[in-house]
Amino acid sequence: MKTTAIVLLTAALLASPVGSTAAFANGNGNDINALVGCKSIVERNAVGAAMMPSGIAPLGNLPFKMKNLKRPVFKSNNVVLQKTDVDAQGKITKAINSKIAELSKKGGGRLTVPSGHWLTGRIELKSNVELHLSEGCTLEFSADIDDYQPAVFTRHEGIEVMGAGAFIYANKAKNIALTGKGTVMGPPMDVKMRRLKNGNSVVEKDIDYRMPVEKRICDGKEGRTFYRPKSFAPINCKNVLVEGVTFERSVLWNINPIYCENVVIRGVTVNSVKVPSGDGIDISSCRNVLIEYSTLNCGDDCFTLKSGRAEDGMRVGRPTENVVIRYCLAEKGHGGITCGSETAAGIQNVYLHHCVFDGTRTGFRFKTRRNRGGGIWNIYYDNVRLIDMNEAFTWDLLGTKTYMGDLAQRNPPLALTPLTPTVKDIRISNFVIESSDRMMSMNTIPEMPTTGVVIENGVVRTNRIFKALNDVGELTLKNMTIQATDNNINIDDSRNLTFKNVTFYVPTDSLSYNIKGEKAEKPVIVK
């Protein structure tokens, strides 16, 4: 019986195990792809590092203008690291950096690190140099903070500082690459570096944005803060390639290009599940980025987009824009793809397609805070399979009182300021949620409600539908089939909600609305 967009949850559907898609087949025998507009949804065996082809395919039709990206080209000069390059402390730091610098002065080429275990401090890539890690090669990075001196220009969680930088670092370089089937590995899990305090508070409180950057020294010396190095973090670079490499045991974020242009990341594998803040790939204020055929297992967010934090990020004013992520696999991690929470200069023109999130805490995650500035807009996600989610769609725009204090309180609404972020114009299409505890929660900013969100052409199996829809300005669900074991929809001061051609398989034949707030409206249901 179908009198509205809501349909009785039959006994067969209730009996179907969570994670099964068989329950979505209807009397005409249509399969799950038919319910998603006859568009085939990507399978797990088509994505990830193991499936990387040799060439970079054209970007195809994009919802925004962006040029095709290619590998940087290097001269045929090939220098090979030798066992004799190991110093008395058992490290190759001095030798490898000397060879990179010399190779760059000669016009560039490839520096090959052969199979074996190599201990090193910070490595600095230079223009026109490809650092190639051979199969069976492990570059293990030192736990001694002295091996990351002197402090270099970098960005920590969206704030410019002088700090450790990265295991592999570059500044103002052109045409650089990290390639091969080798491994970049952080120090052992029990070392002191991992236990060093990450500042006294959130970074924007520790670093005064009015202080000149050259005085923001965070080198761990004389009682100063030591911000742990990322694994690979070039800054102010152009034409950057990371291909084929495995990243293990990071001490912070893994791959983090900052202020870079024309970045290609493909075929990488990240394993950082037990690392706090062990993000996989963080794109920070970069332009023209392609990420493809990569597999991430992370201690925090997997694919992440950022553009600076609070006043310092506004001062820099460099957005993240023109990013394509395709044929990737996210397994363990907080978010499959996350925009934010550093949004000061804006995150825009992002297109993710043909990806699988299997076991991440959330699937699509949007984060910012009242003091972060900028915002998130023109985001497009298409053809995604989500498996075993805690929550598939998450808008977390206020944070918690632990870190944000009174700014985390929803009410009363605050006055708009230059730091109030905007989140709008997000379209998520053609997806399957095979299993989740919750489909969605939206906790947005009451004085700047989120608008222009369209979620369409999806099939969902979930326990709960909406944990909360708080202060949403506009949301459309379109052409969806949702099976849930709970029928509650919680709405607090949200409006302009439209369910168009949405079929709900829920208990008691109907949805149960819990609506609060003077501005709140019941969803408009359209057949």
DSSP, collapsed to helix, strand or coil, labels residue 311 as helix
Q: How many CB atoms lie within 10 A of CB 3?
A: 9
- d(Cα 255, Cα 70) in Å, to the nearest integer? 19
Helix (H/G/I), strand (E/B), else coil: 138 = strand
Residues 20 and 63 in one domain: no
In a domain, 415, yes or no: no
Quote the pLDDT of residue 31. 53
Residue 283 lies in a domain: yes
Encoded tokens for 366: 């949007």
Q: Check: CB of residue 330 under 8 Å from CB of residue 356.
A: yes
Q: Is residue 37 part of a domain?
A: no
- Cβ-contact 84, 114 below 8 angstroms: no
Same domain, 7 and 85: no
Is residue 459 within 8 A of residue 32, CB to CB? The reply is yes
Considering the entire predicted model, what is its pTM? Answer: 0.94
Number of domains in the chain: 2
Q: In angstroms, what CA-CA distances link 245 with 171, 242, 270, 312?
A: 21, 7, 9, 32
Q: Is residue 356 part of a domain?
A: no
Statement to judge: residues 62 and 19 lie in one domain: no
What was the pLDDT predicted at 33?
54
Residue 61 lies in a domain: yes
pLDDT value of position 9: 35
What is the full DSSP assignment across 53-116?
-SS-----S-SS-----------S-EEE--GGG--TTSB-HHHHHHHHHHHHHTT-EEEEE-SE
Q: Please name the helix (run of DSSP H) or strand (run of DSSP E) that holds residue 401, with its range, or none.
A: helix 401-404
In sequence order, which residues have a C-beta less than 8 Å from that of residue 479 and are 6 or more positions away? 37, 456, 457, 458, 500, 501, 502
| 332 and 369 part of one domain | no
The answer to the question of residue 409 being in a domain is no
Report d(CA 488, CA 509) in Å as an integer: 12
* Same structural domain, 8 and 76: no
DSSP state of 15: H
395 shares a domain with 319: no
CA quadruple 458, 63, 234, 219: dihedral, nearest 10: -60
Domain identity same for 344 and 455: no
Are 343 and 379 in the same domain?
Answer: no
pLDDT score at 240: 98
For residue 199, the model assigns a pLDDT of: 81
Residues 144 and 18 in one domain: no
In this structure, what CATH number is given to the domain that contains residue 169?
2.160.20.10
Burial class (CB in 10 A: 0-12, 13-18, 19+), 515: middle
Domain boundary among 330, 350, 370: 350
- Pair (365, 332) in one structural domain: no
Domain that holds residue 472: 1-30+361-404+425-527
Per-residue model confidence as pLDDT tens for the chain (527 residues) = 232 343 333 333 333 433 333 334 333 334 555 555 546 999 999 999 999 999 999 999 999 999 999 999 999 999 999 999 999 999 999 999 999 999 999 999 999 999 999 999 999 999 999 999 999 999 999 999 999 999 999 999 999 999 999 999 999 999 999 999 999 999 999 999 999 888 888 899 999 999 999 999 999 999 999 999 999 999 999 999 999 999 999 999 999 999 999 999 999 999 999 999 999 999 999 999 999 999 999 999 999 999 999 999 999 999 999 999 999 999 999 999 999 999 999 999 999 999 999 999 999 999 999 999 999 999 999 999 999 999 999 999 999 998 899 999 999 999 999 999 999 999 999 999 999 999 999 999 999 999 999 999 999 999 999 999 999 999 999 999 999 999 999 999 999 999 999 999 999 888 999 999 999 999 999 98
Q: Is the dihedral of CA 407, 408, 412, 415 positive or negative?
A: positive
Residue 35 lies in a domain: no
If asked whether residues 77 and 4 sit together in one domain, one would say: no
pLDDT at 35: 53
177 and 109: one domain? Answer: yes
Which residue, of 285, 317, 350, is where some domain finishes? Answer: 350
Per-residue HEC secondary structure of 225-292 comes to CECCCEEEEEECCEEEEEECCEEECCCCCCECCECCEEEEEECCEEEECCCCCCCCEEEECCEEEEEE
